[in-house]
A and B are shown apart, each in its own frame.
Chain A
Amino acid sequence: MKSFNIFIVVFLFAFISVNVSAQDVNTLVMKVKNKLDQVNDYTAEGKMKTDIAFIKAPVGGVKVFYKKPNKFKLQRNGGISVLPKGGVSINIGNMIVTTGFTAIDAGFAEIGKVKTRIIKLLPNGDNNDIILSTLYIDEANLLIMKSITSTRENGTYEMEMRYGKFAEYGLPDKVFFSFNAKDYKLPKGITLEFEDTDQATKDKLKGKKGRVEITYSAYEINKGIADSIFK
């Protein structure tokens, strides 16, 4: 009987603590969401560096437009830009979702020197493109330090954020975007490159993660943006 009572106590304690933890996680997600909700729209200028083994591209200026709830456009200031499909369009509007997902507490981790809470967001439906989203949240400042998003069509994307002047709005100064870069090969008839690439170069091009780094220099927040920009 005594052992049964102990079992009941332990069970109740475990149930209550899981419930409290789940509530904490949902509250935390909501708080972060509310912070990001201060931003109705923004325009940001910055520099974009593409670090993909098989793409040689110069560092170029970019302009980013965002409008609630989910309009996002990244535009290079002149020139040609190459971006992984789907991934870079992850923005503050869709990085954190509060409906149709279940939030699970996954413990703690350090990003840089900041202690973060790991929260996994699982979609309730089967038809969502996002399979799993993991957020690393700085609880003290209510900032998303890192997010890992696994999608059905476009693989897994990792975003790391560094904050500065615009941290009060939850907007990063620097975004590191990494993804698995697939090898690609074109038929030589198209490229007319009959000279084969040497083995050392081929090895260098293989098995490396792609990375896009955007450093924002200026934000214009809640100044209003026309919908025509996103067309």
Chain B
Amino acid sequence: MWVHLRIELYKIFRKPRTYLAFAAITALIAVIQIGLFVDGKEYTEFVMADFANSFAVDGKILNGYFICYVILQLLLIHVPLLIALIAADMISGEANMGTLRLLLTKPQSRTAIVTAKFLASVIYTLLLLIWIAILGLFVSTMIFGTDDLFIMKSSYVVIVKESDVFWRYAGAFCFAALAMVTVASLGFFLSFFAENSIGPIVATMSVIIVCTILSTMNIPIFNIIKPYLFTTHMITWKEFFDFKVNDANEAIVGSIQYPERIIHSSIVLLVHIIGFAGGAILLFRKKDILS
């Protein structure tokens, strides 16, 4: 299977669209960084307008950690499209080119072949996230420096101590990886049903858009299904940036306010990954390959 995985990775990285995704991420992050470098003061003043009426905030709010948080908030909504471009093409692309039957003539089980394809799309997803981490976190801290992380939530403000931030990003990126692998597995699952790439890519994005809208709309009838939608749990990475306080309202360094939410969301996402990927493997084993 290792050989087949290498072949699949080779195929992925031979496609120009793979690099298009990395280029798009680079451009998006550069745009955010340049924008905040030039007009960051105005941006923070706008964001904090209400808060600044009552409080004086002293310190370097616009630091690398804050920029990375902004990047993650914006990018994790758009990255699924770039992941779908590759993951939703894994089987349908071969079917479209007519190489699927040829591929299955190899002396390997169908399970090994399809698992290698899935793992290749997972590796691509992880590389994309590592690239976001390099540009969003490391390059941002090099340009903007580091300080405490100042986050404005809808009802309260969180200031995370500089020394307490990095491990939270490590956790947030690991969680984001889980969320993005869920998207990859959905695209991979849908690619099984079509013989061209466009259909599964559009279908993946449509599912994500519809589910995201359902997750964000605060209408009682949708609240019943919200806990089961993977899009509801994709934003749980933010829980890493909220900590517990003691009775005297003193921050407990190194704590997470709701660790159970992270565990619950991770389980839901894992179930989705197993469901989509497992479903694709099971169906592929019995599929009548005609192309």
Contact = CB atoms under 8 A, between A and B. Distances in A.
Among B51, B61, B155, B253, max chain A CB count under 10 A is at B155
Contacts of A81: 57-59
Given A79-B147, A85-B54, A182-B54, A57 B251 contact: yes
Max chain B Cβ within 10 angstroms of own Cβ: one of A50, A56, A79, A197: A56
Contacts of A74: 58
Contact of A84 (B47, B55, B164): B55
With most chain A CB atoms within 10 A of its CB, the pick from B152, B161, B249 is B249
B147 A191 contact: no
A57 B159 contact: yes
B252 to A, nearest CB: 9
A58 B158 CA distance: 9
Nearest to B51: A184
B102 interface: no
Contacts of B56: 82-85
Nearest to A75: B58
B159 A55 contact: yes
B174 to A, nearest CB: 20
B159 A82 contact: yes
Interface in B14-71: 46-47, 50-51, 53-61
A186 B153 CA distance: 8
B152 A191 contact: yes
B2 interface: no
A93 B271 CA distance: 64
Given A51-B248, A56-B242, A59-B250, A78 B154 contact: no
B245 interface: yes
A51 B248 CA distance: 7
B218 interface: yes
Nearest to B216: A194
Interface string B154-177: 111111111010000000000000
B216 A82 contact: no
A107 B154 CA distance: 45
Contacts of B215: 194
A126 interface: no
A229 interface: no
B291 interface: no
Contacts of A196: 154, 218
Q: Is the interface of B mostly helix, strand, loop or mixed?
A: mixed
B148 interface: yes
B157 A56 contact: yes
Given A79-B59, A84-B54, A184-B51, A191 B154 contact: yes
A115 interface: no
B142 to A, nearest CB: 19
A52 B249 CA distance: 8
B229 interface: no
Contact of B249 (A51, A60, A76, A80): A51
A55 B58 contact: no
A52 B156 CA distance: 10
A55 B55 CA distance: 11
Contacts of B47: 186, 190
A192 interface: yes
B161 A58 contact: yes
B63 to A, nearest CB: 9
A186 B73 contact: no
A83 B216 contact: no
B58 A76 contact: yes
B198 interface: no
A221 interface: no
29 contacts: A49-B250, A51-B248, A54-B155, A55-B157, A56-B156, A56-B157, A56-B242, A57-B157, A58-B161, A78-B147, A79-B161, A80-B58, A80-B59, A80-B147, A83-B55, A83-B58, A84-B54, A184-B50, A186-B47, A186-B50, A186-B152, A188-B154, A190-B152, A191-B153, A191-B154, A193-B238, A195-B235, A197-B154, A197-B155
Interface of A: 49-60, 74-76, 78-85, 181-182, 184-186, 188, 190-197, 201-202, 205
Interface of B: 46-47, 50-51, 53-61, 73-74, 147-148, 150, 152-162, 164, 215-216, 218, 235, 238, 242-243, 245, 248-251, 253
* 10 nearest CB pairs, A to B: A80-B59, A54-B156, A58-B251, A197-B155, A51-B249, A57-B159, A80-B148, A194-B216, A193-B154, A79-B148
